[in-house]
A and B are shown apart, each in its own frame.
Chain A
Amino acid sequence: MSAVRSLEPWRWIGVPMVQLLGLTVLFAIPLRVFGLQLPEPVFPMAAAFAWAVIRPSVLAPFAVLLMGLFLDFFWGGPIGLWALCLLVAYGISLAGRTMMAGQSRAILWAWYGMVTGAAMLIGYLVVMLDAKSTPGLVPLAWQYLATIILYPFAHRLIEMFEDADVRFR
């Protein structure tokens, strides 16, 4: 039996991916109470950020791509839009991974907010070019707020798997 217990991809990539996509489907229920609808956060953003922080991986970008494509098909937007946005978020997080190492929860939350903002800015520009019309900033701000309050999910994922593989401590 090996002394090193490797981190299986299905544990830190597969299970969170299914959970987040399930939440996305659940929040798309046409529910309206007292004129208010459910918020529509980008659940996969939490995974895209956390996976880059946990460890570099060859599988993770493709999992991010799959989640983004699912969002595009499910939400009926331009195909590839959210895939690109999530990959941008993953790329920024991967590039800043060394700066985030050992930082407090608040600093990581700020990083998460910055990464989410960059991804949505890319989405804004792409939609502007695609539809030749500027999307409204108010709905964008609502979705941004609904997404950055998901950081506790990302933090829990980071805490669960950051030290799971001793080779990446």
Chain B
Amino acid sequence: MSLRDNPLGELKVPLTWGAAVALIVAAVVAIAFLVSDRRETFQSEAYGATRRASDTVLGPVGDVLSAPVRWTGAGVDTVRGYFFAVSENRRLKAELKEMRQWRDVAIALRDTNDRYRTLLGLRTDPPIPMVAARIVSDSRGPFANTRLANTGEEKGVKAGNPVMSENGLVGRVIGVTNGASRVLLLTDTASRTPVMIDRTNARAILSGDGGPNPRLDYLRGREPVKEGDRILTSGDGGVLPRGLPVGTAVKGLDGRWRVVLASDRTPIDFVRILLFEDFTQVLNQKQLDVMPVPPPTQGSQVVGLVPATPAAKIAPPAPTPGPAAPGTAAPAAATAPKPPPPKPATAKPGASKPVTPKPTASAASKPTSSAPTTATPPASARPRPPVEEAPH
């Protein structure tokens, strides 16, 4: 029996409807991917096995494809170096002369800093280890600004590590696999970087928007920034170390403060991945989250009501109170505001009040006054009666 003879043979779903159904199914799949995506988190597992696998494949592919560009660039540099050697030499000599002056200043500042640190007993940050990597692919669109570097977890790179070019901060690592790292640039819409203005020490958040110049958001203070101010990482939050160069401030066409990135001065081909880990990333969070349980109360530490007889046996005898006249007790307390000696609350509760008054302002100003009211401690400083702190 042929298909045409089949009674259902004429029942044909229009192809447009089939395409529409397929479109809806594909759109649902895309939305499901979109909803479950968490690319900007610091959790390495959130990056996903699929992303890692694709980076593993795309890293060497990008490396091969960008090889002619590197060779061409190296050839151009060689030719340029040959023809412009004299002018380059002249420029370098002038730069060296200026750098020597800066070197002397730097040595003097380092010496001063060392002395200050010694005086203050500062615990300085250890040097940050770093690994070099080459950028093999680059995305520059409005919705994603990332780069693929050809160094990965085999060199100890982790998600969150800052990435720098020779001029300044480029971004941070958001995904690592064997042989490749995905770098989220400062210009990406998902990028938020805590920065500070070097001149005023004002804080801001550097927010990418897909363009070449990210915005300075949440600026505080009156005129905290002006044109040409140097922007550095603030180190707030512990994700990035403090003081990495980011760029210079400029007023954007939209009237907002933006940053011309220092890393944009030259093409980013080689980068340094700082294997930086802040103490908040190193410490054991679970251990911190554990609430310490106080030890069982001992007899001498009990503050509340306890039977009088055993407490009297355990505790040392209370010192004999001084002269009963409060007027004589007040100057003594005013001139020597030491904490009272530990005393069992139950030994002689009645005697504790005149002996341990804390000096008030009036008592201190009138030490010779014999009025008993000057010796009365303020309500907050008065020893509480034991009944208020009954054991739970």
Q: List the B side residues contacting A58 at CB < 8 Å.
A: 15, 18-19, 21-22
A42 to B32 CA separation, bound complex (whole angstroms): 22
**Interface range, A side:** 35 or more
A21 to B211 CA separation, bound complex (whole angstroms): 24
B34 touches A135 (CB 8 A): no
Q: List the A side residues contacting B135 at CB < 8 Å.
A: 30
A133 touches B209 (CB 8 A): yes
Task: Count contacts between A and B, CB distance < 8 Å.
Answer: 185
B139 touches A74 (CB 8 A): yes
B37 touches A73 (CB 8 A): no
A75 touches B144 (CB 8 A): yes
B189 touches A143 (CB 8 A): no
Q: B61-69, B118-126, B337-345: which one contacts chain A?
A: B61-69
A64 to B30 CA separation, bound complex (whole angstroms): 10
A69 touches B33 (CB 8 A): yes
Give B297-342 interface residues, CB cut-off 8 Å to A. Answer: none
A130 to B211 CA separation, bound complex (whole angstroms): 17
A140 to B209 CA separation, bound complex (whole angstroms): 10
Interface of B is mostly: mixed
Q: List the A side residues contacting B16 at CB < 8 Å.
A: 56, 94
Give A56-111 interface residues, CB cut-off 8 Å to B. Answer: 56-62, 64-65, 68-69, 72-84, 87-88, 90-91, 94
**Shortest beta-carbon distance from A84 to chain B in Å:** 4
B binding-site residues for A, Cβ under 8 Å = 15-16, 18-23, 25-27, 29-37, 39-40, 48, 50-51, 54, 58, 61-62, 65-66, 69, 135-144, 146-148, 174-175, 182, 184, 189-190, 207-212, 267-269
A binding-site residues for B, Cβ under 8 Å = 25-26, 28-32, 37-38, 40, 42, 55-62, 64-65, 68-69, 72-84, 87-88, 90-91, 94, 123-124, 126-127, 130-131, 133-136, 138-140, 142-143
25 A–B pairs (Cβ distance < 8 Å), ordered by A: A25-B137, A31-B66, A40-B140, A40-B141, A55-B15, A65-B26, A69-B30, A76-B139, A77-B143, A78-B34, A78-B37, A78-B144, A79-B39, A83-B33, A83-B34, A87-B27, A91-B27, A123-B143, A133-B189, A135-B189, A135-B210, A136-B209, A139-B210, A142-B142, A143-B142
